[in-house]
Structure 1
Amino acid sequence: MKKLVLLLALFSLNMGNSQIFEPVKWITSVEKISNNKYKLISKASIESGWHLYSQDVPEDGPVPTTFTYDDKNGTFKIIGKTLEEEGHTIDDPIFGMKIKFFEDQAVFEQIVEVLADERTVNATVEFMVCDDTKCLPPTEVDLVFNLPSKSLSVPVKTEKNEPAKTKNASTSTNAQGILDPVKWDFQTKKIGDKEYELIFVANIDENWALYSQFIEGEGPIPTTFTFQENNDYILEGDVIESDKNKVTKKEPLFDNIKVGKFYNQAVFTQKVKIDNINTVIKGNLQYMACDDSKCIFPPEEPFLFNFTKLEIDVSTNKGFENNNSSVNNLLYGMSTEDLKRSEIECDNEAVNNASEVKNSSNSLWRIFGLGFLGGLLALLTPCVFPMIPLTVSFFTKKGGESKGAGISKALLYGFFIFAVYILLSVPFHLLDSVNPDILNEISTNIWLNVIFFVIFLFFAFSFFGYYELTLPSNWTNKTTQGENVGGLVGIFFMALTLALVSFSCTGPILGSLLAGSLTADGGAWQLTAGMAGFGVSLGLPFALFAMFPNMMNALPKSGGWLNTTKVILGFLELALAFKFLSNADLVAHWGILKIEPFLIIWIIVFGGLSLYLFGKIKFPHDSPIKKLSFSRISGGILVAAFTIYLVSGFRVNKDTKTFTPLTLLSGLAPPVGYSFLYPNDCPNNLNCFKDLKEGLAYAKKVNKPIMIDFTGLACVNCRKMEEHVWPLKKIDNYLRNDYVLISLYVDDKKELPEAEQVEVTRINGGTRTLKNYGHKWAHFQTQFFQTNSQPYYVLLSPNGKQILNQPVGYTPDENEYAKFLECGLKKE
C-alpha cells in the first residue's frame, strides 16, 4: 500500500500541466583542511513550502538525496560518508513512517583526499522534493568543486621590528594553519555575437584585503592575470576591475604608500571574442592579500573557461548561459532566429491541420480498441475465465445484503479493475513532461529492446506451459488481507488481488501493450488509451454478469480450450519478441536481423502455429484431441494463409530494387531496404541525405525545395508512409524530382563527434547533453518545430530559411499528402 501511495504522491502533478518546477538551487564550495584533504560543501537553497529529503530514508519511502562523486580516474579518494545537518524528523502521514527532511536550506559535507594534481572534483546529486500537494520526480544535478591552491605566508615589514599584532578575525585556514582568505569564482556572460565577458570574482574574508592591479613603487604585489595564447579567441582590451568595494588609502605595512585594495569582494572582467565554439581559455592569476598585521602570497591560481561543452557553473548557475543560437549554428548550420514561415497560404493547409488532429484522435481510439481486444484475450485464459462465476456469485449471493446492493458493489468492483490498469500508465505521463522525447529514448534504447526480447521469449514459453509465471506470494497475501477491511477499500483490494493473481496470463499481454505503446510514434496518452481499453474489457464482464446472472448460463465451461488460447498467445509473443530484437539491431546498426532472417523466423513461428491448430504439435498442458473442431480447422487455415502471405515478402520489386513490402508487417518487420541481398540506404531507391548540413548545401546548389523527414529506425508509422505512400506514382514523382529529401533519424544511437556532444536547453526547461545522432535530431525537431512525434514532414525553401507550409505528421491519404507537397512547390 505504501508503494501505491508513493506512486500516487509522486505523480500527483496535473498531467496536462507543462509548468516546470525548480524549487531547489545548488551551490558548491570547498574548504582546505590539510595539504591534500578538502571538505566539499554542497548547499541546497529550497523554496518556501518545499522540502528536500535526507540521505537516510526508510525503504518504501521517498527517494533519498544521494551524492555520487566521480572518482573513476583515481585522482582522489572519498573519506567517510557525506554528512548532513540535523533537519526535521516527523511521522509522515502519507508514507506512514518517520522521515527526515530539510526546509529552506540543507548543507552536505564530504571529505576527500586528493591523490594527484587535480583542480576540480565532479559529482552528481540525485534528490526528490515535495510540497503539501505534490512531489516532483527524482532529479539529477551535476556539481563542480573547484579546489583551492595552497597558500604560503609572506613576511611583512612591521614598525621598529615589533611583532605583528593579530586581530580577532575570522579567517579561512586549513588544518596546518595555512591561511586561505580569498576564494575565486569564475563565470562567463554573453554580451554579443561571439563576444563574452570572462568574470573573475574574489570572495574575501572579513578584515582581509585584496590588492588592485595597479600598484606603483615597491609596494604590495598587484593582482595580475596571465592568459595562455590561443588562436581561437581574441582578448579585447585589458582586464577591468570594478570600483565596488575598492578603497584607496595609505598602506602602513608598506611604508605608507598609497594603494588601492578591495574588501569583502572584488570583481574583474575581461572581454573576449570567440572565433571557435570549441575554445578553451586557460591562464593563471597572481595576487596578494593582507590584513592589518600580515600578508599572504599564494602560488599562481589557475583558471579555465571551457566553451567546448557549453558548461554552466553550478555554484553560480551562470556561465555560458547555454547559448542556443551558437549551439544551433554549430550543430545544424542554422538558428531558430533565421527560420521564418511563409506568409502565403494554400487552400488545403487547414485540411492538413485538421487531419493531424483527426489522426491523433484516431490513433488513441485505435490503441484503445487494441487494448480492449487484449483484455478480451485475457478473459479467455485459465487465470481469469474461471474467476467470473465465482466473483459474480460472491456479490449477488452475499448474505444480509439486498440484490441491488450486491449489484452496485459488483459494478464498483468492475470500475476498480479498470482503475488499477489506468494507474499503471500514470508514471509515463510525468516522464513525458520531464523530457519531450523520453518515451522515444525508452522505446529505442538498444538494451531495453534486448531485454524486451528476452522477456517475451520468457512469456512465450510460459504460455506454452513449460513453467508458471507468478508474482511473489507475499504481494497477493497483503492485498488479500486488505480485502477484509470492507467497504470501498475492501472492494478495491479485491480488484487489485485479481490483477495480481491473474498476472501469469495478463502479464504477457500487458507487456505487449506497454512495449507497443512506447514506440517512436507512441507516447503516454497512447499507453493510457490501451490500458483503459484493457481495463474496460476485463472489468466489464464482472459488472454485466452481476446485473444479469442468467447470462452466465451461456458461457462455455472451462476446459482444454482455455489452454489452447494460452498456447496461441505464446506463438504471438514469440513472433513479437523478434520485433524488439529487430529494433535493437536497427538502432545499433548490428546488421544481423535484416529483412531476410526476420521473415524466415516469422514464417517458422506462424507455420508452427498452423501445425499446432491442426493438432500436429502438442504442449505440456494440452488435452487429447479426439476430433478437430470447426474453430481449430478454420483458425489453422487462416494462419496457414498468413504464412503464405509472409513468403510473398520475398518477391522483388524491379522499380525500387528491393523486396516487396508487406502492408500487414509495416513497422513490425525491418525496412525492406535493410537487406543482405538487396540493400538500399534510402526508401524506394530515392536519393536522400541523412545529414542536415549536406542536404542544405545540395538544395542550394540545385535550387530545389527541401523536405525534412523526421523519422525513426523503429517507427511504425514511418515505415507505413515510406513503404505504402511514398511508392505511389504521384508521390514518388514529387519526392524523386521536385524535392531534396533529408531523412533525420531521431533514434539513431551512433555516437556524435566529441565537438558536437554539447549541453543544450530543453524546450520545456532543464538541460541535457547530446551524445548521439538521435539526440541531435530529436533536439532539432523540438527546438525548431516544437513537436516530438514521428513521422513529421517539414517543407523548407532551398536556402533552408523559410518554412513553406504547415508541416504534417502521419498522412496515409494519397491525395491529402500530394496536396501538402503541391502547396510547398507553389510557395517556393
Structure 2
Amino acid sequence: MKHLLSLLIPVFMLFAGVANAQDSTKPVQWKFTAEKVNDLEYNVHLKGTIEKGVQLYSTTMGDDQVNTRVVLDSAIKGTITGITEAGKLESKKEPLLDSDVKYFENEVELLVHVKLTAPADKLAGKITYNTLKGEEFATEEVSFSVPVAATPAAGAGDKAAASDVAEDDASNKSLWWIFIASFGGGFIALITPCVFSMIPITVSFFTKRSGTRAAGIKNAFVYSLSIIIIYTFLGFLITKIFGASALNSLASNGIANMIFFVIFLLFAFSFLGAFEISLPSSWANVSDSKAGMGSFVGIFFMALTLAIVSFSCTGPILGNLLVLAAKGGNAGPLVGMFGFSLALAIPFSLFALFPSLLNKIGKSGGWLNAVKVTLGFLELALALKFFSNVDMAYHWNLLDREIFLALWIAIFTLLGLYLIGKLKFSHDSDVPFLTVTRLCFAIVTFTFVVYMVPGMWGAPLKGISGFLPHEGSQDFNLNRSLIDIQASLEGGAGGGGAKSDATAIKPKKLVGILHSEIPGVENVFFDYDEAIAAAKAANKPLMLDFTGHTCVNCRKFEKSVLSSPKVMKILRNDFVVASLYTDEKTSLPDNEKFVSKFDGTKVTNVGQRNLDLEATHFNRNSQPYYIPVDLDGKQLVNKGYGYDPKEDVDAFVKYLEDAKAEFEKRTKK
C-alpha cells in the first residue's frame, strides 16, 4: 500500500496542479500564530478554513496513509514533539485507497508542540496537507514564518490543554479551594505545641523592645510579613524545581506514593510520641544569632527561627498541603504556601494590636499534647491512603477494601478511647475529668467508626468512597450481590448491555483488574478494541469511562451518580461500557508500544495508552470523563461529562438519553 501511494501521489499532484505558495484558490486557507511556553518550548497554531465539499486528511493516520504533515525549517534548531488536533474528526472507508481514512471538513485547528535547543523569537516551517474533493486528490504545501507571541494564542491548545487542565487543576475555583484548605492548615499548625508556645513569647519580645506601642505593632507586622515571605518563597522554589506537571504526577507514581507513605508514617509516630523530628540545632542557632540585630533584617531572622524550630510540628501539615497544592498547576504551591503562612502570621499581628489578649491564652502543654496525638492518629490514617494508591495501581492486592476499613476502624476507635481518657501516652498529662470539648470530639470520632462498620460487608460509604480501595477488591460485597440480583430480575445483566446470545463478546483482557467500579453492569470492558467489537456485535453505543485507580473524584461520582437505579438500568440495558484506567501500570507488548502524537512521549503501558486515547481523540486529560461513542468510535454528543460536584443524577440521565437518541439517528441512515 505504501509503495502504491508513493506512485499515485505524484499523479494526483500533476492533475491537481499543486503549487507551493498559498493563494485564494487553495482548498484550505491557513492562519498561523506562535506562542512561547517557556524558554525552550513553543506552540505553533495552524487554523485552517476548508473549502466546502473538501476533506482534509488528519495528521494521525500514520506513514501508510495520505496524512497531513508539519515540519520545521532547517534553520530552526529543534524538533516537533507532538501535534494536537481540534475539530470534528470524521472517518470512513475510502474505496480509492482501499483503507480507512480520517479527515476534517469545514474547519480544523492544529497545535504543533515544538522543543528547541535555544530560545527563538520566530518559528518557520511548512505544512504539507492532502485533500479529497469528489474523486480528485490534491497535495498542497504552504510555508509559514511567524513571530512568537508573549501570551498564549487562541487555538487548538486552548481546547486540548488549557480548558481541561485549567478546569481540573488550576481554575479559580480550585485555587480558591487550595487557598482555603491551606489557610485552615495554617490555623491547625497554630495549635501545635511548637508554634502555640511561641506566640506570647514572640509578641511580648516585640512589645518590650519597642519604645512605643506603635513601634511594637510595626515590628510585629514586619515579623508576620517575614513569615509569609519565607513560606511563600518555599512554594516558589517547589514550583521552579519540580514543575507543576511533575507534582501533578505524584497521584499515581508508585515511588512517590511509597515515599509519602513512609514520611507520613514517621510523622504519625513522631506525633504519637515515639520520637521527635527536628532539623539540626546548628541551623536554628545560626538563624537565632542573627535575631539580635536591631533592624528589620533581625526581625526577618526571628521569623526564620520560628519556621525552623516549628518544623517538627508544621512539617507533617505542610506535607499534606503540598500534595493538595500540586493540583493547582504552577500557581498551586504559591497559593497554598501563602494561605498557610497568612494563617500562621495573623495571631502575631492581632496580639500585638491587643496585648491584653495574651493573658487569656492557655498555657502550652496539656490539651496541646492531645491535639498533637490526635494529629498523629490522622496522619496514620492518611499514610494508608498513599500505600493503597500503589497497591491498586500495581495490583499487589495487599490492602483490599476490608483490610483498609478494618485498619481505619481500629485507628479511629483508639483515637476515641484516647479522647475520653482511656488511652494515655508517656508525654500526656493526667485527665482527671472529661471536658465538654473532648466529649464532643469523642462523639464525632465514635460516630465515624460506626459509620464505617457496614462497609465491611460492602456498604458504599459515599462520604469517604474516594479514600477507600475500589469495591472490586472486596472479597464479600453484599451491596454488589444485591445489585446483581436486581439486574438479573430486570433481565439485563449482560455485557454492559450486550445481549446474552452468540453475538455477545465477553471481556478477555482484564489487565490485572478484578472487578469494574461501574455498578450494575456485569461485563465491563477494559480494552478499547474489545469494547468496540462488543458494541458492534450488540449494535449498541459504547460508553467510554476514562477513570483511574487512584482517582478520588471517580469513586465519588460512581457512588453518588452511577449507583442510581435509573443510571444503572440505562447503562446495563442500552450501552456497552468500557472502563479505561489511565494509571494502569500493565506493560504493553513491544509491538504495541508507540510514540504519542499528542505530546511526543513514549507510550509503554496500558494507562499511558488510555490517556493518549483520551487526549488525542477527545481533547481531555483529566478523570473521570464519560463520553459515549458510536460503532466507529465517533462521539455521540458535543461534549463529554466530567466530575459533577452537584452530583445531579437527572442531568446525567439526560446526557445518556441524548446519546442514545443520536445513536439511533445515525444507525437509521
3-state SS of the aligned residue for 1:471?
Answer: coil
- Pick aligned residue for 1:405 from 212, 215, 224: 215
CA 1:477/1:754 → structure 2, altered by over 3 Å: closer, same or farther?
farther
Counting aligned pairs with the same residue, the percent is 42
Q: Are 1:466 and 2:466 matched, yes or no?
A: no
Larger Rg: 1
Number of the residue aligned with 2:229: 419
Number of the residue aligned with 1:509: 317
Number of the residue aligned with 2:200: 389
8 Å contact kept, 1:514–1:527: yes
AA paired with 1:646? M
CA distance in 2, matches of 1:674, 1:693: 25
Kindly state the Cα deviation for residue 778 of structure 1 after the two structures are TM-superposed.
2.5
CA distance in 2, matches of 1:318, 1:524: 25
Kindly state the Cα deviation for residue 522 of structure 1 after the two structures are TM-superposed.
6.6
CA 1:417/1:425 → structure 2, altered by over 3 Å: closer, same or farther?
same
CA distance in 2, matches of 1:191, 1:670: 40
CA distance in 1, matches of 2:331, 2:648: 24
CA 1:387/1:707 → structure 2, altered by over 3 Å: closer, same or farther?
same
Number of the residue aligned with 2:413: 607
8 Å contact kept, 1:356–1:810: no
TM-score, normalised via structure 1 length: 0.55
Number of the residue aligned with 1:376: 187
CA 1:472/1:318 → structure 2, altered by over 3 Å: closer, same or farther?
closer
- Pick aligned residue for 1:647 from 453, 472, 480: 453
- Pick aligned residue for 1:817 from 652, 656, 663: 652
8 Å contact kept, 2:170–2:331: no
Q: Mapping of 1:246-257 within 5 angstroms?
A: none
Q: State the superposition RMSD in angstroms.
A: 3.9
3-state SS of the aligned residue for 1:741?
Answer: strand
Q: Are 1:588 and 2:424 matched, yes or no?
A: no
Number of the residue aligned with 1:772: 605
Number of the residue aligned with 1:558: 364
State the Cα deviation string for residues 499-523 of structure 1 (Å, max 9, x = none): 22101111111112223455xx775
AA paired with 1:508? P
State the Cα deviation string for residues 678-698 of structure 1 (Å, max 9, x = none): 463342142422212222232
CA distance in 2, matches of 1:339, 1:429: 41
State the Cα deviation string for residues 105-128 of structure 1 (Å, max 9, x = none): xxxxxxxxxxxxxxxxxxxxxxxx
Kindly state the Cα deviation for residue 556 of structure 1 after the two structures are TM-superposed.
2.0
3-state SS of the aligned residue for 1:425?
Answer: helix
CA 1:420/1:737 → structure 2, altered by over 3 Å: closer, same or farther?
farther
Q: What is the number of residues matched between the two proteins?
A: 503
Kindly state the Cα deviation for residue 794 of structure 1 after the two structures are TM-superposed.
2.5
3-state SS of the aligned residue for 2:275?
Answer: coil
CA 1:337/1:419 → structure 2, altered by over 3 Å: closer, same or farther?
farther
AA paired with 1:21? D
Contiguous gaps of at least 5 residues in structure 2: 1-34, 43-57, 67-71, 91-98, 109-162, 478-513, 664-669
CA 1:676/1:420 → structure 2, altered by over 3 Å: closer, same or farther?
farther
Number of the residue aligned with 2:535: 699
Kindly state the Cα deviation for residue 744 of structure 1 after the two structures are TM-superposed.
1.7
Kindly state the Cα deviation for residue 623 of structure 1 after the two structures are TM-superposed.
0.8
Kindly state the Cα deviation for residue 192 of structure 1 after the two structures are TM-superposed.
12
- Pick aligned residue for 1:19 from 13, 37, 56: 37
Kindly state the Cα deviation for residue 813 of structure 1 after the two structures are TM-superposed.
2.5
Number of the residue aligned with 1:675: 474
CA 1:816/1:362 → structure 2, altered by over 3 Å: closer, same or farther?
farther
Kindly state the Cα deviation for residue 749 of structure 1 after the two structures are TM-superposed.
1.4
Kindly state the Cα deviation for residue 542 of structure 1 after the two structures are TM-superposed.
1.2
Number of the residue aligned with 2:552: 716
3-state SS of the aligned residue for 1:397?
Answer: helix
CA 1:581/1:546 → structure 2, altered by over 3 Å: closer, same or farther?
same
CA distance in 1, matches of 2:474, 2:219: 57
CA distance in 2, matches of 1:191, 1:567: 59
Q: Mapping of 1:303-702 within 5 angstroms?
A: 360-400=171-211, 402-427=212-237, 429=239, 435=245, 438-483=246-291, 487-518=295-326, 525-651=331-457, 659-678=458-477, 680-686=515-521, 687-702=523-538
8 Å contact kept, 1:422–1:535: yes
TM-score, normalised via structure 2 length: 0.67
CA distance in 2, matches of 1:336, 1:372: 50
Kindly state the Cα deviation for residue 824 of structure 1 after the two structures are TM-superposed.
2.9
CA distance in 1, matches of 2:578, 2:189: 44
Instruction: Report which of the two has the higher share of strand.
Output: 1
Number of the residue aligned with 1:784: 617
State the Cα deviation string for residues 522-571 of structure 1 (Å, max 9, x = none): 75555544433322221111122122222223322223111111001001
CA 1:321/1:628 → structure 2, altered by over 3 Å: closer, same or farther?
closer
3-state SS of the aligned residue for 1:593?
Answer: coil
3-state SS of the aligned residue for 2:300?
Answer: helix
3-state SS of the aligned residue for 2:196?
Answer: coil
- Pick aligned residue for 1:752 from 588, 605, 619: 588
CA distance in 2, matches of 1:191, 1:813: 38
AA paired with 1:782? A
3-state SS of the aligned residue for 2:472?
Answer: coil
Number of the residue aligned with 2:142: none
CA distance in 1, matches of 2:551, 2:635: 27
3-state SS of the aligned residue for 1:673?
Answer: helix
AA paired with 2:251? S
Kindly state the Cα deviation for residue 585 of structure 1 after the two structures are TM-superposed.
0.3
CA 1:757/1:593 → structure 2, altered by over 3 Å: closer, same or farther?
same
AA paired with 1:369? I
8 Å contact kept, 1:711–1:791: yes
CA 1:341/1:454 → structure 2, altered by over 3 Å: closer, same or farther?
farther
3-state SS of the aligned residue for 2:601?
Answer: strand
CA 1:492/1:731 → structure 2, altered by over 3 Å: closer, same or farther?
farther
CA distance in 1, matches of 2:434, 2:61: 79
AA paired with 2:391? D
8 Å contact kept, 2:178–2:328: no
CA 1:484/1:788 → structure 2, altered by over 3 Å: closer, same or farther?
farther
AA paired with 1:541? P
8 Å contact kept, 1:683–1:723: no
Contiguous gaps of at least 5 residues in structure 1: 1-16, 25-189, 196-272, 276-311, 343-351, 652-658
CA distance in 2, matches of 1:358, 1:523: 6
CA distance in 2, matches of 1:544, 1:334: 71
State the Cα deviation string for residues 757-805 of structure 1 (Å, max 9, x = none): 3333554xxx422222222222333333344222223333332124522
Kindly state the Cα deviation for residue 376 of structure 1 after the two structures are TM-superposed.
1.7
State the Cα deviation string for residues 283-326 of structure 1 (Å, max 9, x = none): xxxxxxxxxxxxxxxxxxxxxxxxxxxxx9x9x9899987999x
